[in-house]
Amino acid sequence: MAKHTWVVTASLCGWYITQIISTILIKSSMMKMVVSPLNMTIANLSVAATLDMVLLGFMGAGAPEITNKKRILDVTLPAFALLSAKFLTFLAYEYITVSVAHTIKCCEPVFTAILSWYWLNIKVSQGVCVSMVLILGGSILASVSDIKYHLIGIVAVFISVLSQSISRVYNKTLMSKSSEGSTLDFAGVIKLKCMTAIVTLLACV
């Protein structure tokens, strides 16, 4: 149990650090080059889908079920939510600083908890509710007090966070029901993630 907790904690820390590094690099690229949020979204999703395919190849798990109509329908909602999250995030970067954007993104657990309660019937403790209120209040305070406050950027990143939460929670529902009626393994999760990116790319085109 302790080992499992350590692995989860290390994975979350690694994920968050890579997210911050990725955000800084993307913001830097958008400042150096004239790149539209849509083009940046397409580039980001293309790289993500390609890396997922490479990982599946190394695992010998085979390609995602791109011709499976049921699976395509399953990932349609998270795909459009992912498109909204990516596009609006890159749009927000044109108006607000990375620090403010990531401060607002801390609200994601709030939206995720609400959606998990609605979709998955997962309840949270009173302590978690209090902490989420504090997180939400802190994000709002940071937004309105920022020197470079811009309404478009603030609204865009808030909607982006909501869209990201929708995508994560809905993917969680898909992960709990594979075609055989059992939970998906790691390769199945990567295939699901890859298919979501591919459907999102098709929506961009």
Per-residue pLDDT of 45-79, as tens digits, reads 888 888 888 888 887 777 776 666 777 777 788 78
Packing angle between helix 151-175 and helix 98-105, nearest 10 degrees?
40
**Paired tokens of 105:** 């993104």
The pLDDT of residue 182: 47
Type of residue found at 95: Y
- A 10 A CB-CB count for 191 gives 22
Rounded to an integer, what distance in angstroms lies between the CA atom of residue 61 and that of residue 52?
11
Helix (H) or strand (E) holding 158: helix 151-175
The pLDDT of residue 142: 61
Q: Which of 65, 67, 82, 83 is nearest to 178 (CA)?
A: 65
pTM over cut 0.85: no
The pLDDT of residue 145: 58
Residue 75 burial (CB < 10 Å; 0-12/13-18/19+)?
A: buried
Residue with tokens 């085109």: 205
Q: How far is CA 18 from CA 47, 68, 80, in A?
A: 15, 32, 23
Helix (H) or strand (E) holding 136: helix 126-145
Mean pLDDT by 10 residues, the chain (205 residues): 65 72 72 75 83 81 70 78 86 79 76 79 73 70 61 85 84 64 63 79 73
Q: Which of 38, 33, 61, 22 is nearest to 200 (CA)?
A: 38
Q: Are 101 and 158 in contact (CB under 8 A)?
A: no
